[in-house]
Amino acid sequence: MHVNQQIEKIIKIKEANQFRYYIDFLRFPYFHSIEIDSVINFNFPLTIFIGQNGCGKSTCLHAAYGMPEGKTPTTFWFSTSVDPIQYYDDERKRHSFWYSYKDEEGKLREVIKARIRRENDPNYWETSRPLKWAGMKPRKKRDIPIKKEVVYIDFRAELSAFDKYFYFGDVKGLKSRNKQEYIRYQSKHLEKVINGKKKIINKSSGIYNKEIRLLERAELDEISFILGRNYKSAKYIEHTFFKNDGYSVIFNSNFANYSEAFAGSGEVAIVRLVLKILDAPDYSLIILDEPEVSLHPGAQNRLVIFLLNQIIKKKHQIILSTHSPVIAKMLPRSAIKTFYQNPDSGRFLIKEDLTAKEAFYYLEHKVDTKYNITVEDILAKSVVDGVLENIGLETKSLFNVKYNPGGVSVIKKEFIKVFCRDQNSINYVFFDGDQKYCDGYDWRNDSIGIIDSTYLIKKIKEISNEDISFDVDGGAQGGNEEQKVELLKKYLDFYKNNVFYLPSNIPEEMIWDDNIAKKLLEINELDAQEKLNQLLGLHAYKERFAVLTKEVKGVNTGEDIFAIQKIFLNHWFKKQNDDFKLIKGYIEHIINY
């Protein structure tokens, strides 16, 4: 099943309320370093946190971990002498977070967990009664926390038993001269368990291992799919043979048998992830901290497919943090939550409803391929640039807006003929409104019998009002008819999908405002109303701006006129009227197309 089909299916499952005990949102009235009253809405069952290092992603994962019954953030966030946690803010608000879910009867439940001061436990959290200052509906009775199994995996800490000891262990208090010697000695015991000579190794110091787990075919298939390899068999064992708690994996592929000592760290981590998720009961809460660590892009892609498939099968709710463009690009904007620092307070903000490309603006991820918008003149460029800036810098970073001094005919006769040859063109044209002669034409709606080059050229003339020549390879009849028809179709498709029209006939008409004109005239003129009436008698809006500029500045060079137009533009941006919203809609369409 294609990713888009998986996403559509999950949306339908959610709309049908098939997710039991689904957490709707997580709100932070005052928690850690998160901006006061920030909210994360879980609109899609696979939610990803994106942001720079140290921007609160893991903090919110810890809060998510603490949502279900029997769990608290204390597992990860606790007070010490070096890093003390203050109990209250200046308004005596306690560290807390709250969320909502529907119980089995469909009744909405609101649960708040707060850090409570206790002398014998400085890191105690408990469910509190609903708090009005936290934005909750006041009630006397507190709701019980959601009951969900929680699987939490931090992939930065996912190390096999071998790697744990080899990179972080020591030989203090041991007879071994070095780590290698100790590993060789202990491996003899591990080998006995792996080969079935012993199920359990039990010494005076205690039990060293759990029984070995032979992976089932279904488990191997998922691991093989994600990693792009073919595993014939694998064994998994949790043990303490290398001093600390850890696990080992023995792989058997078409080419070799080997342990985690010779496997990639991503390879071992995926085994752990697959087993934990497949073992999790239905409707579990799965939390993954940077699962892309040590995974190549292809494996990251297939990991997302695996997670989406598990959501479909077992109705899990999954939350993960990531720096991976591969993972983010696969998911809808409703899944993406972007973290960044508030420059004023230093606390961390959470922005929703951004596309993957917009979200990665905050990670300083260079956009190699931007959308290009061609417009007719500098005023149209200023309009589109301003709309982009008002939407947000993360959106503006995805676009290049340029105007062509050669005029509209050059765009139609030369530029679009080049742009249209690319089937997935990143080029778009925003014409002035007076260039719309008819709606876009789709040649697919006509019968095949009438479609030839003569017919298509006629259609191009209707939509562009230009006589445009199309050069193709030569032939006995003066050109390759089949090739020409295909090029004409591409031109028409570009016009239909990549050409938009600015509101009003020209930008000057769109931004004109009588009140602004009057205020400018009132600066120097006692008879401002009379001058305004004269301006309004001019039907050409370009002429209005030329005359107004002459009245206000005494000169009306192109530079002076543009300076006056900027005043009108700034006012137009502040109003954000229907014309503004129409252009904004064009931009959002391009991003989501």
The pLDDT value recorded for residue 478 is 53
Return the number of other C-beta atoms located less than 10 Å from residue 259's C-beta: 19
Measured at the CA of 347, the angle between CA 346 and CA 348, to 5 degrees, comes to: 120
What is the signed CA dihedral for 539, 542, 543, 548, rounded to 10 degrees?
Answer: 110
Rounded Cα–Cα distance for residues 147 and 354 (Å): 31
pLDDT at 269: 87
Report the first-to-last Cα separation within the chain, whole angstroms.
21
Which of the residues in the chain have pLDDT under 50? none
pLDDT at residue number 514:
93
Scanning 375-440, the segments in alpha helix (DSSP H) are 378-391, 393-396, 408-410, 416-419
- Best CA proximity match to 54, nearest among 357, 364, 393, 346: 346
Closest CA to 541 of 499, 592, 577, 506: 506
pLDDT of residue 92: 66
Residues 6+ apart with CB under 8 A from 131: 29, 96, 98, 112, 114
Tell me how far apart the alpha carbons of residues 417 and 127 are, in angstroms, rounded to a whole number. Answer: 65
β-pairing, 46-51 with 317-322? parallel
